[in-house]
């Protein structure tokens, strides 16, 4: 057993065993989801939805078992004798949090939710094919009902969004987020306006024909070079890329390619690799416990965005890798300089799709979604009025109107496959945290930019491994950021980064 | 719900729900196994073994739930009012058999077995790399202990092999099989000797370089043409091909290719397709019940062997498809005739590998294994003496000695991944049943050979669908064969087929 606990050995080992069973069933569900998104034939969809619901219900029942609650209660006192950050105290603390949350939610609700999510996802896929919000509207209404029902299990929360936010960003509340986001929006909108008024950057070199197998091969080599371990992971193609973990030694990336757009696979791969580096580098002693996960959606996104943007869209990084990329695509890129490429991959533009957005506008997309989901949960926005509200937010913050529902309200899978509430704040928290962590790493290791130019990632990776990755879920996002940077999560490092980088790129004083 | 039951509706629907949960967890385990054999990175092995053990234990516990036993008991009387072959009576009958079997076996044993199987499989893979039986010997000894422990749960069986045979071939016993196999061996050995003395068939045209992607593409087209539904299945590459079903609408084939041997992918695909046609064509009303499976290993193998051999190695079949195969491999096959090809794919030779054996010698391989596993179970053969015993059986029946353990005792995964006992008889039963069924089909539809020449499979497929596939597990193998052919399983149709086909091919009076 990876975790030892000299006293109360048998009680603690009972805890470990019970939690491991829950985790095994959750991991099995993750395999079934991964297969559904990568290899499953169409015909398999109905049974797969049912199988997932069954697994989730079984896992939920095991997690809510009152015997587990008793074990946790008995261990609580003894956990106090261990340091806060010890494996033992952390496991008992986090398991107790999971237990307290799970036991509020009836297993019957979990199964009902899982069934609905499968149906809703299929309706969304159809709506995107046929191009209509009407197709999903009734499903989304039911999702909103279920999301409120979820919130009703946590009456101690001030606002319905809070229990949903806690699902992925423990410790965060809608009030704190609204404050943070309002500050950020206030700073970002003028920056975006200034850039929009400047001469646009040329991106033609990215819009050529890039054979897709070569794109995947280059991305795989790049990820391996940075530190993603293919003997403990793999890369597969899918429609909506994600990273999934079946154990610390089996963390898989999915990606998508676009024949006519090199940046799709490139930054999608670096993004998912960031998630995967986190999961692959959790301390192996935490394997098969509830600690063997990223601690929050915000911290997870901080890692995907750090590697995608702070590293992957930096000049230093491409000084090293652009010649190699040219080697893969000599005909397409042979004549352009690393400077052209660096500028092209950092073009800022007000476009409708979140996942394709640049670093500057990206958070505006996220904050619109956050605002809309809170409004729906609080009864201030009816589901049927969502497309109109969506479009007016885009007009207000980005000055554009989506051409159709696929470019608008149907673009993200989240509301159609999960719940409404708590789905998006992690993306912006991630951007903020990424900058805050990176700034600290640079302070402690000023050699990092030169390392990147040389394709040497060990200093940065080791720093992240030591400060973030190995801990898994031991610390909340707030605790972790404070431990590392000595400050709470805040917007300044991100804004300093954006102002400096994009001021240079656009010759503006931002 | 696919199955309706007007009386005792609620009790019956409780049964359906409970059995569906069991089935969902078993199907999830099947997905995890499929992934392990196709896409899982090496690092994932340990956790995957544990996850599979957990799923199996949960499924087993649910299947043994005494409440399920009570439901079955209460429904038993009412089931008598339904016709034997009705969905309702069949489900109650088969579920009861599964329940009675499962409840004899402690869940703790299932978990122990699953853990051991994972370790044993890995040791076997290592032994094949490093080429030594010594590496696996201690694992195999433990497997033998576990197999005997399994048998001890069924003290009513005359011999330890019987409870293990019942696992895959319900109704069969070691005594019946020994009698059947002894007759068969007596007839086969002289046939093999006669053919071995005749001038050998030339097979050089099969041993050229055949690009592997083209092999897979041809196989996929062939399977689709015959009737395998790719919208409810897929084909992936693996080391030890198998077919697996996650639902009636998601039945997957795995296959392997050999650059220098066309027959590997060709007959492996047709074989697995036979299994898959069976599973894809089970009546959809039986979905997610224990009836939604092949009824026995013998009947399952009868379908893989029917399509692989009786159809796939027939002259009629290649009259239609050889020109298409030549189209795929013009350089390699352009100059040879369908007659050359037909002769080459039917060459009889005493070679060491079972899965590569021709139709005539194949059953000798199987019967050796059956003999050895019964001997081990009954304490007449020690595991450490297995390689020697293996080799002397091969000398006795086939006149050859394997060059090394990989060509001998290590060639099949079965004993290293499952149990000892009941692992092999299904292959020979399958060959016998395939001939018996095919003879009946030809009697009822004499047009089938001409259909095959025209690439028309509908008569045969419909006949199999109606007589075999749709029933799933409703009937035992004995019942099914008797219903269809009016006779018990016997060796004559197979011997008639072998004598006629190979007499012609070798110009012998067999």
Q: Which of B43, B58, B249 sits opposite A231 (nearest CB)?
A: B43
Distance CA A445, CA B250 (A): 53
At B474-508, the pLDDT tens digits run: 999 999 999 999 999 999 999 999 999 999 999 99
At B356-411, the pLDDT tens digits run: 999 999 999 999 999 999 999 999 999 999 999 999 999 999 999 999 999 999 99
Q: Is there a contact between A312 and A117 (Cβ–Cβ < 8 Å)?
A: no
At B402-450, the pLDDT tens digits run: 999 999 999 999 999 999 999 999 999 999 999 999 999 999 999 999 9
- Supply the pLDDT for residue A79: 84
- Supply the pLDDT for residue B9: 59
Q: Is there a contact between A28 and B55 (Cβ–Cβ < 8 Å)?
A: yes
Q: How crowded is residue B127: how many other Cβ atoms within 10 Å of its Cβ?
A: 22
pLDDT above 70: percentage of residues in chain B? 98
B238 touches chain A (CB under 8 A): no
Reduced to 3 DSSP states, what percent helix, strand and coil does chain A have, rounded to the nearest 5? 70, 5, 30
pLDDT bracket for residue B22 (50, 70, 90): very high
Q: Is there a contact between B430 and B304 (Cβ–Cβ < 8 Å)?
A: yes
Q: A160 is written with which tokens?
A: 């319905």
Which residue of A lies nearest to B248 if distances are taken between CA atoms?
A: A44
Distance CA B70, CA B19 (A): 14
Sign of CA dihedral B299, B303, B304, B305: positive
Average pLDDT estimate for B270-294: 98
Question: Residue B256 — φ and ψ, nearest 5°?
Answer: -135, 155
Q: Which of B28, B40, B231 sits opposite A51 (nearest CB)?
A: B28
Residues 5-34 of A with CB under 8 A from B: 20-21, 24-25, 27-29, 31-32
Catalytic residues of B: 272
Which residue of B lies nearest to A233 if distances are taken between CA atoms?
A: B41
- Supply the pLDDT for residue B239: 85
Q: B183 exposed, middle or buried (CB, 10 Å; 0-12, 13-18, 19+)? A: middle
Do the Cβ atoms of B41 and A247 come within 8 Å?
Answer: no
Average pLDDT estimate for B313-335: 97
DSSP B11: H
- Is the confidence at residue B1, as pLDDT, over 50? no
Mean of the per-residue pLDDT values of chain A: 95
Q: How crowded is residue B446: how many other Cβ atoms within 10 Å of its Cβ?
A: 9
At A125-184, the pLDDT tens digits run: 999 998 799 999 999 999 999 999 999 999 999 999 999 999 999 999 999 999 999 999
- Supply the pLDDT for residue A77: 84
Structural domains of chain B, with CATH:
9-103 (no CATH), 174-506 (1.10.1370.30)
How remote is the C-alpha of B256 from its chain's centroid?
Answer: 16
Q: B311 is written with which tokens?
A: 């159809």
Which of B174, B158, B194, B143 has the alpha carbon at shortest distance from B367? B174
Q: How crowded is residue A172: how many other Cβ atoms within 10 Å of its Cβ?
A: 25
Distance CA B483, CA B466 (A): 12
* Alpha carbon of B308: minimum distance to chain A alpha carbons (Å): 24
A46 touches chain B (CB under 8 A): yes
Do the Cβ atoms of A249 and B20 come within 8 Å?
Answer: no
Chain B residues whose beta carbon lies within 8 Å of the beta carbon of residue A31: 28, 31-32, 35, 51
Q: How many CB pairs under 8 A join A and B?
A: 129
The alpha helices in A232-296, defined as continuous H runs, are 262-280
Q: Is there a contact between B278 and B306 (Cβ–Cβ < 8 Å)?
A: no
- Is the confidence at residue B131, as pLDDT, over 80? no
- Is the confidence at residue A4, as pLDDT, over 60? no
- Supply the pLDDT for residue A3: 43
* Alpha carbon of A164: minimum distance to chain B alpha carbons (Å): 28
- Supply the pLDDT for residue A80: 87
pLDDT above 90: percentage of residues in chain B? 94
**Across the beta sheet with B235-237, what order do the strands follow?**
B235-237, B250-255, B243-247
* Alpha carbon of A36: minimum distance to chain B alpha carbons (Å): 10
Q: Is there a contact between B346 and B313 (Cβ–Cβ < 8 Å)?
A: yes
- Supply the pLDDT for residue A443: 98
Distance CA A184, CA A178 (A): 10
Chain A residues whose beta carbon lies within 8 Å of the beta carbon of residue B233: 41, 43
Q: A39 is written with which tokens?
A: 């290899």
- Is the confidence at residue B345, as pLDDT, over 90? yes
Average pLDDT estimate for A475-482: 98
- Supply the pLDDT for residue A207: 92
Which of B240, B290, B237, B246 has the alpha carbon at shortest distance from B96? B290
3-state secondary structure B425-438: HHHHHHHHHHHHHH
B107 touches chain A (CB under 8 A): no
Angle at B285 between CA B280 and CA B290, to 5 degrees: 75
At B52-101, the pLDDT tens digits run: 999 999 999 999 999 999 999 999 888 889 999 999 999 999 999 999 99
- Supply the pLDDT for residue B80: 87
- Supply the pLDDT for residue A52: 94
- Supply the pLDDT for residue B482: 98
Catalytic residues of A: 272
Q: How crowded is residue A156: how many other Cβ atoms within 10 Å of its Cβ?
A: 7
Q: A372 is written with which tokens?
A: 């809309």
Element (H, E) at A254: strand A250-255
Q: Is there a contact between A243 and A279 (Cβ–Cβ < 8 Å)?
A: yes
Select the more confidently predicted residue: B397 or B240: B397
Do the Cβ atoms of A28 and B28 come within 8 Å?
Answer: yes
Global model pTM greater than 0.90: yes
- Is the confidence at residue B141, as pLDDT, over 60? yes
Do the Cβ atoms of A24 and B48 come within 8 Å?
Answer: no
Q: Is there a contact between B412 and B369 (Cβ–Cβ < 8 Å)?
A: yes
**Across the beta sheet with A250-255, what order do the strands follow?**
A235-237, A250-255, A243-247
Average pLDDT estimate for B15-21: 97
- Is the confidence at residue B7, as pLDDT, over 50? no
Per DSSP, chain B holds a count of helices (H) and strands (E) of 22, 3
Which residue of B lies nearest to A236 if distances are taken between CA atoms?
A: B39
- Is the confidence at residue A5, as pLDDT, over 50? no
Question: Residue B449 — φ and ψ, nearest 5°?
Answer: -60, -40
Q: B254 is written with which tokens?
A: 């795995």
ipTM: 0.94
A1 touches chain B (CB under 8 A): no
Which of A249, A211, A219 has the alpha carbon at shortest distance from A236? A219
Q: Is there a contact between A223 and A253 (Cβ–Cβ < 8 Å)?
A: yes
B41 touches chain A (CB under 8 A): yes
């Amino acid at each position: 057993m990876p975790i030892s606990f000299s006293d109360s050995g048998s009680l603690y080992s009972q805890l470990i065993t019970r939690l491991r069973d829950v985790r095994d069933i959750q991991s099995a569900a993750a395999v079934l989801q991964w297969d559904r998104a990568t290899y499953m034939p169409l015909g398999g969809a109905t049974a797969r939805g049912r199988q997932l619901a069954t697994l989730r219900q079984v896992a939920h029942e095991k997690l809510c078992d009152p015997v587990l609650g008793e074990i946790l209660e008995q261990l609580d006192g003894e956990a106090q004798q261990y340091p806060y950050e010890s494996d033992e105290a952390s496991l008992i603390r986090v398991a107790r949090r999971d237990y307290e949350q799970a036991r509020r939610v009836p297993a019957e609700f979990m199964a009902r939710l899982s069934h609905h999510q499968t149906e809703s996802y299929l309706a969304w896929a159809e709506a995107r094919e046929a191009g209509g919000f009407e197709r999903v509207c009734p499903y989304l209404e039911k999702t909103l009902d279920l999301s409120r029902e979820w919130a009703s299990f946590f009456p101690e929360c001030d606002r319905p969004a809070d229990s949903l936010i806690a699902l992925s960003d423990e410790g965060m509340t809608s009030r704190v987020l609204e404050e943070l986001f309002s500050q950020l929006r206030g700073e970002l909108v003028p920056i975006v306006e200034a850039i929009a008024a400047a001469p646009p950057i040329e991106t033609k070199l990215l819009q050529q024909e890039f054979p897709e197998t070569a794109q995947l091969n280059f991305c795989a080599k790049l990820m391996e070079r940075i530190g993603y371990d293919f003997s403990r992971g793999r890369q597969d193609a899918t429609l909506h890329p994600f990273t999934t973990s079946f154990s610390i030694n089996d963390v898989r990336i999915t990606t998508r390619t676009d024949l006519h757009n090199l940046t799709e696979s490139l930054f999608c791969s670096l993004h998912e690799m960031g998630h995967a580096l986190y999961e692959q580098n959790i301390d192996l002693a935490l394997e098969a416990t509830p600690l063997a996960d990223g601690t929050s959606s915000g911290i997870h996104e901080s890692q995907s965005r750090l590697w995608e943007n702070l590293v992957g869209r930096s000049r230093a990084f491409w000084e090293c890798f652009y010649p190699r990329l040219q080697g893969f695509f000599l005909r397409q890129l042979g004549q352009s300089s690393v400077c052209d490429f660096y500028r092209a991959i950092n073009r800022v533009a007000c476009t409708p799709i979140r996942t394709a957005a640049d670093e500057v506008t990206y958070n505006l997309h996220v904050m619109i979604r956050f605002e809309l989901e809170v409004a729906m949960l609080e009864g201030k926005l009816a589901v049927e009025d969502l497309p109109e509200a969506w479009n007016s937010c885009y007009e207000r913050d980005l000055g554009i109107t989506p051409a159709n529902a696929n470019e608008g309200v149907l673009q993200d899978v989240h509301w159609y496959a999960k719940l409404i509430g708590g789905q998006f704040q992690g993306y912006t928290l991630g951007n903020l945290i990424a900058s805050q962590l990176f700034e600290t790493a640079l302070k402690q290791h000023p050699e990092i930019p030169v390392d990147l130019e040389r394709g040497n990632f060990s200093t940065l990776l080791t720093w992240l491994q030591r400060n973030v990755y190995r801990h898994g879920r031991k610390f909340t996002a707030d605790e972790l950021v404070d431990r590392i940077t000595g400050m709470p999560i805040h917007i300044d490092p991100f804004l300093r980064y954006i102002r400096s980088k994009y001021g240079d790129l656009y010759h503006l004083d931002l």
